[in-house]
């Protein structure tokens, strides 16, 4: 990407493959804040082709941040769609992988009245429906991913109406394959005299039903572990991670463990030599059936590389009260991308140099740091060769 493309501010990027008859082809699709989706030939980029690796750019709605790959649905086969969210317009623009002439489907509505920052959830269990959030409205939206129409929504209350159902806006979103419930973080509640929390919603039946609001899970980011056993809520403002146990199908999940991100929560005081607060998580499964949870840590005032990451293994939940800190690289803002791939996990860094901090997934130990382009905002994993993993109906 050169100056010919104008000023660049990168947002989310994903790796996807087309299922061509000859052989699968790999691509990177990346959101650029100027309202463009940049399409990159992964093989050419890996080979060092530079700008020749850029296939095209597609215009989309204003201020895109999050983008989502829907490569494959179990029993349905290859879907091959990229859904990019426009925060300014409150809709998704959809690209069909391999069809680069134009957007496959523009302006899939994801708001009722006020557009805002939002995310998308999809899962083979939930097909054909996906679910979206919006920090500007008290809703969780259901979208039919086949015909691109909003089908249902649930509206949460104000604090005055019912504190136990209060959610001024929705942000992070996750799904549990264990109890079949959807989880969304509440945002903006404190501006109305309430408390943020995590709403748990049952999507089965004629209506979306609020099962419970978990006030102990106050963070803005929520994830499902790869094994489906844990819902992980990251509470950056309070320097802690909340682990919810999903329980059996139809049962309400329960708060199981609260783990501090830094020793004695020193990150809240921004102490010198202290690890940072948790931002995002990468999961790394081990052969013994356990799971490493590896969190990017961030303290924008640290410029020594002390932030690093925090790690905990699922076997230690209940006995370990603080993440194990691994220094090696610091970010420069309150956001810090982290991603797992192959045998490693990587997170972006700005200090002591611009680049990425690479970790061994097995134990979270530092594998090394690599200088890259300046002002890194995202990191992702691209296989050296296309895998063809999503080209069957299985």
Q: Residues 198, 233: contact at Cβ < 8 Å?
A: yes
Nearest in space to 18 (alpha carbons), one of 80, 64, 63, 65: 80
Nearest in space to 219 (alpha carbons), one of 200, 198, 202: 198
Task: List, edge to edge, every strand of the sheet that includes 129-132.
Answer: 120-121, 129-132, 139-144, 149-155
Preceding peptide of 352 cis, ω within 30°: yes
CA distances from 109 to 92, 106, 144, 173, 273 (A): 7, 9, 11, 18, 46
Give the residues across from 226 on adjacent strands.
Answer: none
Give Rg (Cα) of the chain.
Answer: 20
Q: Residues 160, 127: contact at Cβ < 8 Å?
A: no
CA 249 from chain centre, in angstroms, equals 24
Place of tokens 């999050």: 66
- Three-state helix/strand/coil letters over the chain: CCHHHCCCCEEEEEEEEECCCCCCEEEEEEEECCCEEEEEEHHHHHCCCHHHHEEEEEECCCCEEEEEEEEEECCCEEEEEEEEEECCCCEEEEEECCCCCCCCEEEEECCCCCCCCCCEECCHHHCCEEEECCCCCCEEEEEECCCCEEEEEEECECCCCCHHHECCEEEEEEECCCCCCEEEEEECHHHHCCCCCEEEEECCCCCCEEEEEECCCCCCEEEECCCCCEEEEEEHHHCEEEEEECCCCCCCCEEEEEEECCHHHHHHHCCCCCCCEEEEEEEEECCCCCEEEEEEEECCCCCCCCCCEEEEEHHHCCCCCECEEECCCECCCCCCCEEEECCEEEEEECECCCEEEEEECCCCCEEEEEECCCCCCCCCCCCCCCCCCCCCCC
CA distances from 340 to 14, 46, 108, 118 (A): 13, 18, 30, 23
User: What's the confidence (pLDDT) of residue 134?
Assistant: 98
User: What φ, ψ does residue 42 adopt, rounded to 5°?
Assistant: -65, -40
User: What's the confidence (pLDDT) of residue 220?
Assistant: 87
* Global pTM value: 0.95
Distance CA 110, CA 116 (A): 9
Q: Residues 30, 23: contact at Cβ < 8 Å?
A: no
**Tens-digit pLDDT profile for the chain (394 aa)?**
666 666 678 899 999 999 888 889 999 999 998 899 999 999 999 999 988 999 999 999 999 999 999 999 988 888 999 999 999 999 999 999 999 999 999 999 999 999 999 999 999 999 999 999 999 999 999 999 999 999 999 999 999 999 999 999 999 999 999 999 999 999 999 888 888 999 999 999 999 999 999 999 998 899 999 988 899 999 999 999 999 999 899 899 999 999 999 999 988 887 777 888 999 999 999 999 999 999 999 886 777 888 899 999 999 999 999 999 999 999 888 899 999 999 999 999 999 999 999 999 999 999 999 999 888 899 999 999 999 988 876 6
CA distances from 300 to 303, 326, 374, 378 (A): 8, 17, 16, 16
């Amino acid at each position: 990407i050169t100056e010919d493309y104008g000023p660049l501010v990168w947002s989310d990027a994903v790796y996807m493959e087309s299922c061509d008859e000859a052989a699968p082809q790999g691509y990177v699709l990346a959101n650029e804040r100027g309202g463009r989706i940049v399409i990159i030939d992964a093989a050419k980029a890996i080979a060092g082709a530079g700008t020749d690796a850029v296939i095209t750019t597609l215009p989309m709605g204003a201020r895109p941040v999050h983008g989502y790959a829907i490569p494959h649905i179990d029993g349905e086969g290859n879907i091959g769609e990229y859904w990019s969210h426009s925060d300014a317009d409150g809709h998704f623009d959809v690209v069909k992988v391999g069809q680069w002439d134009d957007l496959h489907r523009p302006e899939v509505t994801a708001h009722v009245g006020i557009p805002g920052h939002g995310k998308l959830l999809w899962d083979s269990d939930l097909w054909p429906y996906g679910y979206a959030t919006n920090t500007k409205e008290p809703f969780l939206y259901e979208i039919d991913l086949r015909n691109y129409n909003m089908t249902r929504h649930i509206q949460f209350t104000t604090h005055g109406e019912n504190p136990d159902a209060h959610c001024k806006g929705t942000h992070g979103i996750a799904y549990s394959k264990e109890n079949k419930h959807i989880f969304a973080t509440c945002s903006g509640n404190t501006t109305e005299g309430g408390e943020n929390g995590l709403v748990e919603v049952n999507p089965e039946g004629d209506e979306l039903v609020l099962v419970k609001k978990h006030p102990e899970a106050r963070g803005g980011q929520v994830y499902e572990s790869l094994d489906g056993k844990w819902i992980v809520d990251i509470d950056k403002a309070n320097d802690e991670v909340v682990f919810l146990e999903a329980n059996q199908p139809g049962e309400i999940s329960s708060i199981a463990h609260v783990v501090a991100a830094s020793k004695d929560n020193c990150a809240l005081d921004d102490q010198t030599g202290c690890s940072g607060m948790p931002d995002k998580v990468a999961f790394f499964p081990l052969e013994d059936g356990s799971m490493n949870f590896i969190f990017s840590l961030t303290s924008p005032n640290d410029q020594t590389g002390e932030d690093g990451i925090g790690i905990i293994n699922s076997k230690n939940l209940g006995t370990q009260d603080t993440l194990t800190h691994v220094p090696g690289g610091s970010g420069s803002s309150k956001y810090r991308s982290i991603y797992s791939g192959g045998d490693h996990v990587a997170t972006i860094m700005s200090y002591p140099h611009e680049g990425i901090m690479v970790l061994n997934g097995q134990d979270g130990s530092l594998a090394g740091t690599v200088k890259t382009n300046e002002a890194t905002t995202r990191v992702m994993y691209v296989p050296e060769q296309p895998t063809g993993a999503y080209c069957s109906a299985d």
